[in-house]
């Protein structure tokens, strides 16, 4: 039986949850991200009418089992920000090929199946929750942020990229944090592929509307799966390829977690291989700091050899993998202070680089797109920004990798508009 949502037929055309489809000749899951966002907003308004609010949404989504949450107005004990980590070469966020975040149906808690319900990932059940903390505002729950999470399957394959699952969209999804800053995903336990400790990727965005552009992410990190559970899970025959890979890796030698052996990225975990595991992690996000993550070296997916998601992953299944060349993006202010009504000027430089585009973002929103060629690499390019309101503004530049070059972002610069 298909899990694909079916439209209602009305005199005015097909509709879903009381709204006419934007593309009446296509399935509900192919209506686009805008339709998805409107669906979520409509559901939230209904919850408000019922008096449930965001906490009620969590109750409905979890069958009445409320996750561990903080009391209203309470702060959360977190000493430092979750480390910025690579999104890997296969994030499907538009920064490196496919873009899951522009599809319909991405806002979901259960990420085990393709968006159209055509296939479901097999593996040991895993429910994982993240509590996002707003460190810039006194360690309060970061309600309303959108969290995009993704990971490999039990064979070490990533949907939308790996051989055999290129057309799949499972093990990817977006959730919006409730009033306690919590998001919860129902999934399966990720495999271990050569050169990487078992992990789950996630990106945090200011709100749901921001997920359409990967450069809007305010944090990118990874969850390091605990050793105690890994050993038990990988004894399951569905994870047979993970056994040898796991024997050759440790948190201390992993290319991502080796800085501190994943000290702040190891979740609390309970459960077993029969009923499944539950993992929880508190992730502090400080919006006053500059995100340093971005696309990073990686390889091809695979179960018997290696998979994507980190720096060392050789090709499998006959595919050829190349390690993206690193590049840097530099942004400098020409005008640190401008009068109201004037347009500030910045200079940017990318290099080394191939032909690509540079997006300039002011206060997290893209305001200019600049095309660069190989000949522009290392040269300063002068760009005039649009007029802005009186006050302090933050600007950064993001180069979207071209050819065999990885993407990169500049540091955030601050300028003032005076009245």
Which tokens go with 64?
């009445």
First to last CA, the chain: 62
The whole-chain average pLDDT of the chain stands at: 80
83 and 265 Cβ atoms separated by less than 8 Å: yes
Exposed/middle/buried for 71, CB within 10 Å: 0-12, 13-18, 19+?
A: exposed
Other residues' Cβ atoms within 10 Å of the Cβ of residue 352: 12
- The pairing of beta strand 413-418 with beta strand 391-400: antiparallel
Strands (E) in 340-410, as ranges, are 345-351, 356-362, 365-372, 381-384, 391-400, 408-409
- 106-140: pLDDT as tens digits: 999 999 999 999 999 999 999 999 999 999 999 99
Say how far apart CA 163 and CA 361 lie, in whole Å. 35
Residue count of the chain: 419
At 175, the pLDDT band (50, 70, 90 cuts) reads very high
Say how far apart CA 302 and CA 320 lie, in whole Å. 12
Say how far apart CA 418 and CA 390 lie, in whole Å. 5
- 238-263: pLDDT as tens digits: 999 999 999 999 999 998 999 899 99
Beta sheet of 381-384, edge-to-edge order:
328-333, 345-351, 381-384
- 179-207: pLDDT as tens digits: 999 999 999 999 999 989 999 999 999 99
Q: Which residues contact 304 (CB under 8 A, 6 or more apart)?
A: 241, 316
More confident position, 180 or 32 = 180
Dihedral (Cα; 22, 110, 123, 239), 10-degree rounding: 80
- Go through 74-98 and write b for each residue having 16 or more CB atoms within 10 A of its CB, e for each that does not: eebebeebbbbbbbbbbbbbbbbeb
Say how far apart CA 229 and CA 190 lie, in whole Å. 11
Which tokens go with 43?
């559901």
- Upstream peptide bond of 409 is cis (omega within 30 degrees of 0): no
Which tokens go with 7?
């439209």
Segment among 73-77, 196-200, 264-268, 378-382 with least mean pLDDT? 73-77
Q: What is the mean pLDDT of residues 202-216?
A: 89
Q: Which SS3 state, helix, strand or coil, does residue 42 take?
A: helix
Say how far apart CA 251 and CA 228 lie, in whole Å. 13
Segment among 109-118, 151-160, 358-367, 401-410 with least mean pLDDT? 401-410
The pTM of the full predicted model, rounded to 2 decimals, is 0.62
One DSSP character per residue, 268-320 reads EEEEETTTEEEEEEEEEE-TTSPP-----------SSS--SSSS-----TT--
359 and 387 Cβ atoms separated by less than 8 Å: no
- Upstream peptide bond of 245 is cis (omega within 30 degrees of 0): no
pLDDT given for residue 300 in this prediction = 39
Domains, in order of start, for the chain: 8-58 (no CATH), 62-285 (2.60.130.10), 328-418 (2.60.40.10)
Other residues' Cβ atoms within 10 Å of the Cβ of residue 322: 12
Say how far apart CA 132 and CA 153 lie, in whole Å. 25
Beta-carbon-side half-sphere exposure of residue 141 (alpha carbons within 13 Å):
21
pLDDT given for residue 236 in this prediction = 97
Q: Which SS3 state, helix, strand or coil, does residue 387 take?
A: coil
Bridge partners, 125 (sequence order): 188
């Amino acid at each position: 039986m298909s899990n694909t949502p079916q439209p209602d037929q009305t005199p005015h055309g097909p509709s879903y949850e009381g709204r006419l489809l934007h593309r009446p000749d296509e399935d509900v899951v192919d209506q686009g991200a805008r339709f998805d966002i409107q669906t979520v907003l409509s559901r939230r308004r209904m919850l408000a009418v019922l008096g449930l609010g965001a906490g009620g949404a969590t109750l409905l989504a979890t069958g009445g089992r409320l996750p561990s949450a903080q009391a209203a107005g309470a702060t959360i004990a977190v000493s430092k920000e979750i480390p910025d980590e690579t999104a890997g070469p296969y994030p499907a966020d538009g920064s490196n090929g496919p873009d899951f975040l522009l599809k319909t149906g991405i806002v979901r808690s259960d990420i085990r199946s393709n968006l159209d319900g055509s296939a479901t990932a097999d593996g040991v059940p895993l429910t994982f929750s993240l509590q996002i903390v707003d460190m810039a505002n006194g360690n309060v729950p970061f309600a309303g942020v959108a969290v995009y999470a993704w990971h490999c399957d039990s064979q070490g394959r990533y949907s939308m990229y790996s051989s055999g699952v290129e057309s799949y969209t499972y093990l990817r999804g977006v959730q919006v944090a409730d009033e306690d800053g919590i998001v919860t995903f129902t999934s399966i336990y990720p495999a271990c592929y050569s050169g990487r400790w078992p992990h789950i990727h996630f990106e945090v965005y200011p709100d749901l509307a921001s997920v359409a552009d990967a450069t809007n992410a305010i944090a990118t990190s990874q969850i390091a799966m605990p050793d105690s559970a890994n050993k038990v899970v990988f004894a399951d025959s569905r994870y047979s390829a993970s056994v040898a890979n796991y024997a050759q890796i440790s948190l201390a030698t992993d290319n991502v977690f080796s800085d501190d052996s994943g000290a702040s990225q190891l979740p609390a975990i309970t459960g077993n291989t029969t009923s499944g595991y539950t993992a929880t992690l508190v992730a502090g996000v400080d919006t006053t700091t500059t995100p340093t993550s971005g696309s990073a070296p990686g390889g091809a997916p695979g179960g018997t050899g290696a998979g994507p998601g980190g720096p060392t992953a050789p090709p499998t299944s006959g595919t050829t993998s190349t390690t993206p060349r690193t590049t840097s993006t530099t942004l400098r202010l020409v005008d640190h202070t401008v009068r109201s009504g004037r347009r500030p000027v910045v200079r940017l430089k990318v290099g080394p680089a191939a032909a690509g585009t540079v997006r300039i973002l002011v206060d997290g929103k893209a305001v200019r797109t600049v095309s660069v060629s190989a000949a522009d690499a290392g040269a300063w390019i002068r760009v005039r920004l649009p007029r802005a309101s009186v006050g302090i503004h933050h600007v950064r530049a993001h180069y979207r990798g071209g050819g065999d070059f990885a993407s990169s972002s500049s540091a955030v610069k601050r300028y003032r508009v005076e009245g």
